[in-house]
Amino acid sequence: MIEAPPHRKPGFGKALSTEEHAVVQTARDIMTSGPECIGQAQTLAEAARRMRDLDVGVLPICGADGALVGLVTDRDIVVRCVADGGDPTVTTAGELAEGGPVTIGADDPVEDVLATMGEYQVRRLPVMDDGRLVGIISEADIARHTAGSEVGETVEAVTND
């Protein structure tokens, strides 16, 4: 399990001024840094408690080597475990990690972040730097750091089923 610094940046949740919007250029500029991972072998009940304690709706799933293997959301726990009759005290986070997660590079432009979220219809995007997980970008991060029209287009793209 990766132990990371607090998951919120200073000023988290503060709207940016027009001048600050002009300097937002990369994924690193808008991400929430230092996400905490849940281990592949940890249960979904443990993941749910950690989400509650951190007040987040997603946790990265990391292998024993700290490598990102997927994401687990509060919705995954309800829909893919509880609703199907699974036991979250026995089901592990790793059991929900299917395929590789869609990620973005820390120095990739914000335009690529928006395009990737839209193309893959993901609401949260892990941010990688030299193979390490350094942050997560959510729709809320997009809303705080980009122009209103970009927010609408991104939300529309990721919610079209």
Task: List pLDDT tens digits, range 54-94.
Answer: 999 999 999 989 899 999 999 999 999 999 999 999 999 99
- CB contact set of 151 (below 8 Å; sequence gap of 6+): 139, 142, 143
pLDDT band at 129 (very low <50, low <70, confident <90, very high): very high
First-to-last CA distance in the chain?
Answer: 33
Which range among 98-102, 129-133, 153-157 shows the weakest confidence by mean pLDDT? 153-157
Most distant CA atoms of the chain, gap in Å: 51
Of the pLDDT bands very low, low, confident and very high (cuts 50, 70, 90), residue 10 is: very low
Residue 98 confidence (pLDDT): 81
What domains can you pick out in the chain, each with its CATH number?
Answer: 18-159 (3.10.580.10)
* Lowest mean pLDDT across 3-17, 23-37, 39-53: 3-17
Task: Say yes or no to pLDDT of 116 above 60.
Answer: yes
Q: Give the residue with greater pLDDT, 2 vs 98.
A: 98
Backbone Cα Rg of the chain: 16
pTM: 0.76
What average pLDDT does the chain have? 83
